[in-house]
Amino acid sequence: MKMDLVVMGVAGCGKSSLAAAFAHAQALPLIEGDAFHSAESVDKMSRGIALTDADRAGWLDRLGAELQAHPHGVVLTCSALRRAYRERLRAASPGLRFAFLEIDREAALARVNARAGEHFFSASLVDSQFATLESPLGEPGVLRLDATQPIADLQTQLSAWWRIKQ
């Protein structure tokens, strides 16, 4: 059975790190969602301008196509902040599961500031991420993880949950 996973949360929560560790552990391909933003969206975010739903529409469509293009399962990083965004991804991949990396504003801001110069995302957008976030808790196929725990611990928790869900 094909199983896809989205590692989600606000900027700075550790999506890329956890997704890479989990994909490696499960021998699944990894898709870095940020690589599918349009040049216009990357430019906006680098200048501290929050994306709109319209900006995200094409991005979500591209990510949905990527999910469909991997018939044996895949791990995708995507903020997936709104329920409507998650539903678009679920439509592309029935049974899609989400690992929600929960983090507070201060910790996320510190992490985004620490990677300044290495990532296009402006720290000035962290507040907009929290304003947009609609918690996925209570939705089907969602695992909540404490983003402040070590990646190895998070990967172990995620792998245990994944085995149960197969």
pLDDT in tens, 20-64: 999 999 999 999 998 898 888 888 877 778 888 898 899 999 999
- Name the CATH topology of 4-165: Rossmann fold (3.40.50)
28-37 pLDDT tens trace: 999 999 889 8
Residues 71-99, mean pLDDT to the nearest whole number: 95
108-164 pLDDT tens trace: 988 887 866 565 556 667 888 899 999 999 999 999 999 999 999 999 999 999 988
1-10 pLDDT tens trace: 678 999 999 9
**Cα–Cα dist 49/1, whole Å:** 40
Query: What single letter denotes the amino acid at residue 125?
Result: L
pTM: 0.91
48 C-beta neighbours (distance < 10 Å), count: 12
Q: How crowded is the C-beta side of 101, counted as CA atoms within 13 Å?
A: 30
> What is the enclosing helix (H) or strand (E) of 146?
strand 142-146
Q: Name the average pLDDT for the chain.
A: 90
